[in-house]
Structure 1
Amino acid sequence: MNITKEQIDELNAIIKVDIAKDDYQDKVVSILKNYRKTANIPGFRKGHVPMGLVEKQYGMAVRVDEVNKLLQDALSKFLSEEKLDVLGNPLPKNQENFDWSVDDFSFEFELGMAPKFDINLKPKKAIVAYDIYADDKTIDNQLKTIQKQYGKLTSQQEVAKDSEVTGVFVNESIELDNTATFEIAQLKGKKNVDAFIGAKVGDVITVKTKGLFSEAFSYQNAFKKTEDEAKDLNAEVTFTISEINSRELAEFDQELFDKLYGKDAVKTVTELKEKMKEDAGRQFQQQSDQQLMNNVTEHLIEATKFDLPAEFLQKWIQSSGENPMTLEEATEEYNRSEKGLRYQLIEGKIIQENNLQVTFDELKGYTKDMIKMQMMQYGQMNPEDKELEDIAARILGNKEEVKRLSEQLMNQKMLTFFKENVNLKTKKVTFDEFVKEVYN
């Protein structure tokens, strides 16, 4: 057997594999002899079938199977020994009039080579890392929400400015049929408020979706759509009232504090605010970390310049999918996934050069910590290590869970690496300022 590689350019190569009869013949003969011992062919006793008949019936299939096995093993070994950094898998070149009846074979495969590139983690213009904090306005709004949530509902005969109404929004043409509850104070504009004031249970009110509410979250609640989608919709909808209530705000007393944080954990409104700021800080940290990952990822994709073997990858996508694809469909899929592929290569280089691989011990420790936190939420504050080990072993026995947890742990490692190595500029903002900057 002989294997050679021809480099077409920096990103493309051809591998040629020559297989001679001597490479596979002994194995084929051995298999056919075993077939002869077990073959059931009418007119012959078991084990006494003439070898020529066995070869005629099974010889070609066995030869093809053994040559393909040799071919795949040889390719895998060659790529490993030569340490070739390839994208996708080798693609067999179309060889017209290929003849399996000859003794010697020659196969050719296309390779897409991974590009070489450098990564700049210290851009001149620093990447923004948001430090989101809960300002007094945010905390006050949360306090009001808590008071409403734990407050007492009182039924009303007709809608007033302090009312909370429940009903169904309907518009058949846009397939809208959604039950929603909202406060009259959430409505935007005097015209919309006036449409509801004085209405009773059973009344049907007609309004436009565009500009109906003051806050974006209200659109999701009412129409199961974002504010922008509702604006573009600009549909006329009906709202049939089923309930009208006023909500008496709950008092901040020890009973409410205990409901929120457990017995005697909080004793004053001042302590409650501090707890809420801590909770908000943890929630905001997750959002700021995710945005940092987004910002760094976008920078690395834009700033790290390299070519890809696009034509090869398009053909590989076309041939590797579960369902048949045209070349045009494969090209579209490549264009959609190109950014993701570029980041995979950049991330892989960072992981390799900085030894950020996830070890099994790290994964087990991460899994045990996750289990411990979940158990603490249910009051098990000090679980025994053996119990954690047993639960972790069950979880890590599931391949899908291992993949999911490994990805989570690698994301943590990458985030820590970026915080320590990328040129960052910290920007302290309120949550409203963060939303305005990032999402508007």
Structure 2
Amino acid sequence: MKVSKKKADELNYQLTIQIAAEDYAEPLRKRLNDYRRKADIKGFRRGMAPMSLIQRMYGDQCLYESVNSLVGESLDNFIKKEKIRIVGEPMPSEDQPQLSWTAGSEFTFKFDIAQTPELSFEVNKDDKVVYYDINITAAEKKQAREQLLQQYGSLQEGKKAGENDYIVADIENEGHKAEGVYVSVSQVAEDARGAFIGKKAGDKFELDVNAAFTNETDRAAMLKVEKSQLAGLNPVFTFTVVNVKTFVAAEENQETYDKIFGEGKVTTPEQFEEKVTERIKASHEQDANYRFGADVRKYFVEKAALTLPEAFLKRWLVYANEGKFTAEQVEKEFPAFIEDFKWQLVRGYIMQKFGLKVSHEDILAAAKSFVAYQYAMYGMAGVPQNLIDSSAENMLQDQNQYRRLEEQCEDNIAIAKVREEVTLTTKKISMEKFQELA
């Protein structure tokens, strides 16, 4: 068995593997014997079928498996021995010779491989990266207070329906009746919305529900029928307004403080102001940290000045995804892919340079944070810790989720280390200007 390497350029090689009959003779014999031992063929006791029959039935398959096993081992061993920093995986060369799968033949395999360039750069105080300190304005505090009070508000009886109100109505048509239907005026099709504006309890009006409620699923739910029944209904219904509901923001009082922050944690308007400011500050820091991470990525990818085997990578993406993506699709998405790939290499170098590692505990903590955030997004505050823990454990059973969180942790750890090592240039900025940054 012979493996040779032909250099195409600094990053691309062609490997040629030549396998003679004597190389695979013994592996083939063992594999045929194994098939014979396990074969359950009618007319023969288990494991006692003649070898000639086994060769006739399984010879080609055993030959293919034996040779390919040797090819795989040869590739792995050669790559390790030569210490090639391989990109992707070996691919059959475009000039791969035609193979004749006949026992006793010699086989020649050609593979294209590519490697990443060797990285070498410093991370120290000579590196300067901007960190944005976002100002908090009085207008922002006022808006945040109003949004919080709105978030904890409630529906109350109203007089006349406005655009942001709800109407509770009984609707009927030719014997079909739906009572106590809630209609959000703002969700009615714009051309039909005027029919609801200004209405009060006791008012009646006719309306084409097909024109007013264009989403069939929502319309069926409102009429309390199956979606399949909609086509058989006369769309013109009579609406009788039962009452009007107006969403009113919560009053700023102790009951509201307790709902938002927990019992007794805030007791004065001044403390409420402090909590609102803390939330804005935390949100600004999250935005600033995200921007800092993006700037670190850009800075060190540029500093590393990576040259990658792009032609190989494009071909490999098509090959590795087994027809899921065309060459045209890969070409379109390639700029985003290559930037992310460069950062992966730079991040890996930083992790190795400073001896950083991601532990399972890091990944589990990230999963718990994500789960808690998801619950909060659905307004479920104060979820028991044991429920968060079990949800996080279940989440990590999905290998795609595990890898996503692992990469997120690698990002966080690498960027946190960079932040310690470089010179931060703090720059105060308004939120408006911050949002305008490219």
TM-score, normalised with respect to structure 2: 0.70
Aligned-partner SS, 1:87: coil
Relative to structure 1, the CA distance from residue 48 to residue 366 in structure 2 (aligned partners, 3 Å threshold; closer, same or farther) is: closer
State the secondary structure of the residue aligned to 2:414: helix
- One-letter code aligned to 1:200: G
Q: 1:355-412: CA deviations, max 9, x gaps?
A: 222134554566688899999963768x8xxx99998876655544533432332232
For the residue of structure 2 that corresponds to 1:98, the secondary structure is: coil
Cα deviation 1:304-357 (Å, max 9, x = unaligned): 423221221222122111326554444334345222222222222222222222
Letter in 1 for 2:347: E
* Residue in 2 that maps onto 1:155: 158
Displacement after TM superposition at 1:288 (Å): 1.5
Contact 2:166/2:246 (8 A) holds in 1: no
Shift of 1:127: 3.4
Instruction: State the secondary structure of the residue aligned to 2:8.
Output: strand
1:232-251 equivalent positions in 2, closer than 5 A: 250-251=250-251
Post-superposition shift, 1:69? 0.7
Residue 80 (str. 1) matches residue 84 (str. 2): no
Find out whether 1:30 has 2:30 as its counterpart.
Answer: yes
The secondary structure found in structure 1 opposite 2:437 is helix
2:306 match: secondary structure:
coil
1:105 aligns with 2:107: yes
The separation in 2 between residues aligned to 1:120 and 1:327, in whole angstroms, is: 37
Cross-structure match for 2:198: 200
1:337-376 pair list within 5 angstroms: 337-360=337-360, 362-363=362-363
Letter paired with 1:113: Q
Q: 2 CA distance for matches of 1:325 and 1:388?
A: 37
3-state secondary structure, aligned to 1:128? strand
* Alignment partners' CA distance in 2, 1:158 and 1:37: 83
Given that 2:164 and 2:184 are in contact with CA atoms closer than 8 Å, whether structure 1 keeps it comes out as no
Q: CA deviation at 1:11?
A: 0.9
- Structure 1 residues 102-157: Cα deviation after superposition (integer angstroms, max 9, x where no partner): 43222221111112344465798943322234322211222233444537745233
Counterpart of 1:139? 141
Do the aligned partners of residues 421 and 140 (structure 1) sit closer, same or farther apart at CA in structure 2, a change above 3 Å counting?
A: same
CA distance in 1, matches of 2:99, 2:145: 77
Residues 164 and 185, structure 2, Cα contact 8 Å, conserved in 1:
no
Q: Cα–Cα, structure 1 residues 62 and 416, in superposed 2: closer, same or farther, change >3 Å?
A: same
CA-CA distance at 1:416 after TM superposition: 0.9
CA distance in 2, matches of 1:311, 1:277: 51
Partners of 2:393 and 2:148 in 1: CA distance: 41
How far does the alpha carbon of each residue in 1:60-87 deviate from its partner, in whole angstroms, 9 at most, with x for none?
2211110101111221122223221011
Q: Residues 340 and 158 (structure 1 numbering): CA distance in 2 closer, same or farther, change over 3 Å? A: closer
Task: Normalising by structure 1, report the TM-score.
Answer: 0.70
Equivalent position of 2:279 in the other structure: 279
What SS does structure 2 have at the residue aligned with 1:271?
A: helix
**In 2, are the aligned partners of 1:154 and 1:248 still within 8 Å (CA)?**
no
| 3-state secondary structure, aligned to 1:5 | strand
Alignment partners' CA distance in 2, 1:104 and 1:255: 85
Q: For 1:378, which of 378, 382, 393 is the aligned residue?
A: 382
Query: Aligned partners of 2:249 and 2:58: how far apart in 1?
Result: 85
RMSD: 4.2
Residue 411 of structure 1 pairs with residue 411 of structure 2: yes
Distance in 1 separating the partners of 2:416 and 2:57: 63
Contact 1:122 1:422 in 2 (8 A): yes
Moved more, 413-422 or 266-275: 413-422
The 1-side partners of 2:390 and 2:253 are apart by 43
Inter-CA distance 95–270: structure 2 relative to 1 (3 Å threshold):
same
Does the CA-based 8 Å contact 2:97-2:108 persist in structure 1?
A: no
Q: What pairs with 1:159-174 in structure 2 (closer than 5 Å)?
A: 164-165=164-165
